[in-house]
Amino acid sequence: MKRFKTTAILLMLLSCLAATAGANVKVRTLVSILGEEVIHVEGIGIVTGLNGTGDKSQGAVKSLQVYLEKNNMALSVADLESKNVALVRVDAEIPPFIRPGQIVDVRVTALNDASSLEGGVLLNTMLSPMPGGEIYARASGRINVGGGTKDSVHATSGRISASSEGGAQILIAIATEVVENDNQVRLNLNRRSFPDAASIARRINTDEGTNPYLSVQLGFSEEEGRKVAWALDAGQVLVEIPPAMRNKKVEYISELLDLDVAVSRPARVLINRQTGTVVITGEVRVDPVVISHRSLTVTVAAEQSRGEVTGRDVYRLDNNQPRSVVELEGHDTTQNLRNLINTLNAMGVTSRDLIVILEKLKGVGVLHAELIME
């Protein structure tokens, strides 16, 4: 069985562990504003210009016939018979605050048995949020398949990048309301967290730029002072725009989103078995434990005297091969995990074995982190 190399993976682990459990980040990276959601639109279209790689059935040809009839061109199915057309699903994402006439990227996917969309051109296709609904955009253009790789001729999906020659052009004005009638803004947390919601509200309330009441309050505290932000639950923070800023809503929201706030980092270990990749975030703790795996024994020990790491050969296995026992002392377990990984790397442990060890640590309850398998 092929053995995975450990160097790159352990470098990734150590870079993650070097980060503190809590970090100051911009509010804008943690939230989205209620009302600025992306709108997904889609439709069914026809791709032409394929070099014999289109649909084998007549569905696409019949659709092309109907399309041509609408453009005052009457041709029979027999006249159009070829493998140069394909029925496709077309979809796009319309971002907030976009205006009519602007263009966004488009994704195109074959619906039937076309073997490739390489070289194809999408005819005008109307896009809406739901079948039979209002038309939001019109898509067309040449399809880019597979980024020009050697396998692109077999690809049945591709993209049309937004440009003057293609993409989905917005046809209607799409209202984006982020400020409610009572001058309130709701911040939806990207990752639901009670501590983070409370930290964001506290930061907004204690900054003079976002809470002008601070300038007229002495000895402000969140318990006694006037607030402009409230953490409603783990997923949302409500902000009331102060009267003095209601004529400058854009500036106020911009300043609010630009605040630095200390947030928690969940203890997580993400493992991809196929690639052997392991990513660790947050403060991952390891309780005292003895690990025995193959010819390796590792002891994670908590002692009050000191928090040093020692390693030594203590006895030999059969065939005179040394067996290493490593003692990791001290109960500040984030540092211990880093030392454990350093030690395993020095001993030549593969990423596959490292994954097994992490799973066992989680299984016996000494690895305090959420384990996510991919």
pLDDT digits (tens, 9 = 90+) for 125-141: 999 999 889 999 999 99
For residue 95, the model assigns a pLDDT of 94
- CA-based Rg of the chain, rounded to a whole angstrom? 29
Provide the pLDDT confidence category of residue 313 given band limits of 50, 70 and 90.
very low
Q: Determine the 3-state secondary structure of 169 from DSSP.
A: strand
With a threshold of 0.75, does the pTM exceed it? no
Report residue 300 as tokens. Answer: 């994670």
Q: From CA 268, how far away is CA 249, in angstroms rounded?
A: 38
DSSP letter string, 31-85: EEETT---EEEEEEEEEE--SS-S-SSSHHHHHHHHHHHHTT----HHHH-SSS-
Per the CB < 8 A criterion, the answer to whether 290 and 298 are in contact is yes
Residue 248: φ, ψ to 5°: -130, 50
Q: Which residue has better confidence, 354 or 13? A: 354
Neighbours of 172 (CB within 10 A): 11
**Neighbour-count burial of 47, counting CB atoms closer than 10 A to its CB (0-12 exposed, 13-18 middle, 19+ buried):** buried
Q: Determine the 3-state secondary structure of 208 from DSSP.
A: coil
In 3D, which of 357, 341, 299, 368 has the Cα closest to residue 17?
341
pLDDT tens across 63-87, in order? Answer: 777 777 776 666 566 656 678 888 8
Indicate the average pLDDT of the chain. 77
The predicted model gives 257-273 an average pLDDT of: 85
- Please report the domains of the chain, with CATH numbers, ordered by start residue: 7-21+267-373 (no CATH), 24-35+177-264 (3.30.1360), 39-170 (no CATH)
